[in-house]
Amino acid sequence: MEKQPNILFIMADQMSALALGAYGNPIAKTPHIQSLADNGVVFQNAYCNSPLCAPSRASMLTGQLPSQIGAYDNAADFPSSTPTFIHFLRHMGYRTCLSGKMHFTGPDQLHGFEERLTTDIYPADFGWASDWKRPVGDRFSWYHNMQSVTDAGACNRSNQLDFDEAVSYQAVRWLYDQARDADPRPFCLTVSFTHPHDPYNITQKYWNLYDPGDIDSLYVDPIPFERLDVHSQRVARICNLDPTALTRQEVLNARRAYYGAVSYIDDKVGELLHTLAETGMADNTVIVFTSDHGDMLGDHGLWYKMTFFEWSARVPLIISAPARFSHRTVLQNVSLLNLFPTLVDMGSMQPPPTYTAGINKDSLMPFLENGKDLETAPVVAEYLAEGAVAPCFMVLKDRCKYIFSNPDPPLLFDLGNDPGEKTNLAGEPDYSAVENQLYAEVENRWDRNQLKRDVIANQQQRRLVFQAQMQGHHTPWDHQPREDASQQYMRNHLLLDDLESSKRL
């Protein structure tokens, strides 16, 4: 009987699929990710289910849309009672471990992980709760602003570099420990980096990888504010963004640093692959590489995420295990919701535990094992955070993308003929049948008015709780990694020769 595979789940943060060579980018320098693509299954049209960090991650882990579990924004409580695919894998005998960011909000900072090697880079409390009762232009201090773009460039060290260096070190060390451990269980190690998320700063080594002329060759003039759709205008306002106020050089610097950060993550992927090879665990390890969402990088005159345009919503998804799956490219639309059933199926030696009601059940295993192209359900996504005044929805079927929010004119793009999403086809007679079909999907799937009421009520509750918790003695929820120094290196209750022998690989 085939053994349960180890699973190495690697996440980048804010990495658009369109910034990688495996997805057609002409300048990206990512040889290790390219190696995964060359030897794995590449899902060319994979999408996040919410273009914001915490909602996307909670949705991916649970196989449910953010609205199903209350994961509305970057400070929404992630209920401990909601099963994740990590819970399922642990139930099926896996040793589960997290190194890095997962942006869990609330007192549960594990959600199925048996071990967590680092703290998170972002706070675990409700301080970043959105507030749709405030005017859109009334900014909180934690909103994005354009300093990340105007200050972009090379640096020697940064907050994010400190974090990712710790993530990488702890993950590599854990893999070596796993290879020397007598624990017979297979593992699922999640390694989640914070690059290439803004701020757009990276070390000189990676800055120098990219020729300014190559970056300049991709430059597109920003769309003036008055020509943006209504939701994009709101996003621009909360980011203090006037696209025309940025100089061409500032835009190029930010993009150059972003690509440098992409290459930095590629080297971190290389370190993990090298460690698997050195430990002899590569042949029985499935590697999944993805991101929580992308980055607009000035496309459509926008930066960061929070929209359903391709640079923001389309993510890399590569699953590589040459001993198990043959290389191929899948063109069907999929989303991060598909990862829950896929990983549970992958780790099952027998039929997996019954899925909880509401969890996506559309596994990608047929694409991986049989090389079959299946008809896939429409990809759906939501945005329920800052920059919106009501729930925003996306439905993608075939190559037609429909974006709807109750106060705004709808958007419809034919990605097959218009990959840059320049022409809004909503209201065009030739596309009326498609538009009606996708609008019906929105109406059938969501109770828009009730969801808006739920979001606003939840925002107000969390803001009150946060304000109360900040009074007097504050007990934080942030994860505190624990190390037992008495069990590390050489100690007098351990036999020297036995210890040295057991730690030699």
- Cα–Cα distances (Å) from 488 to 116, 321, 491, 494, 504, in that order, read 17, 33, 7, 10, 14
CA distance linking residue 395 with residue 412, whole number of Å: 10
pLDDT of residue 1: 42
Instruction: Retrieve residue 370's tokens.
Output: 């049989």
Give pLDDT tens digits for 124-183: 999 999 999 998 778 898 999 999 999 999 999 999 999 999 999 999 999 999 999 878
- Residue 222 — very low, low, confident or very high, per pLDDT cuts 50/70/90? confident
Q: Tokens 């057991």 label which residue?
A: 502
Q: DSSP 3-state helix, strand, coil percentages of the chain (rounded to 5)? A: 40, 15, 45
Task: Judge contact between 106 and 78, C-beta under 8 A.
Answer: yes
The residue type found at 31 is P
327 is catalytic: no
Catalytic position from the list 53, 97, 188, 400: 53
CA distance linking residue 220 with residue 242, whole number of Å: 16
Report H helices in 5-82. 31-38, 53-62, 66-69
For the chain, the maximum distance between any two Cα atoms, rounded to a whole number of angstroms, is: 81
- Residue 43 — very low, low, confident or very high, per pLDDT cuts 50/70/90? very high
Task: Judge contact between 336 and 47, C-beta under 8 A.
Answer: yes
Tell how strand 187-196 and strand 201-202 pair up: unpaired
List domains and CATH numbers for the chain. Answer: 6-368 (3.40.720.10)
Q: Tokens 């070190």 label which residue?
A: 169
Task: Judge contact between 303 and 239, C-beta under 8 A.
Answer: yes
Catalytic position from the list 32, 87, 103, 197: 103
Task: Judge contact between 97 and 114, C-beta under 8 A.
Answer: yes
Ranges 112-121, 254-263, 350-359, 445-454: which has the least confidence:
350-359
103 is catalytic: yes
Ranges 99-103, 181-185, 230-234: which has the least confidence:
181-185
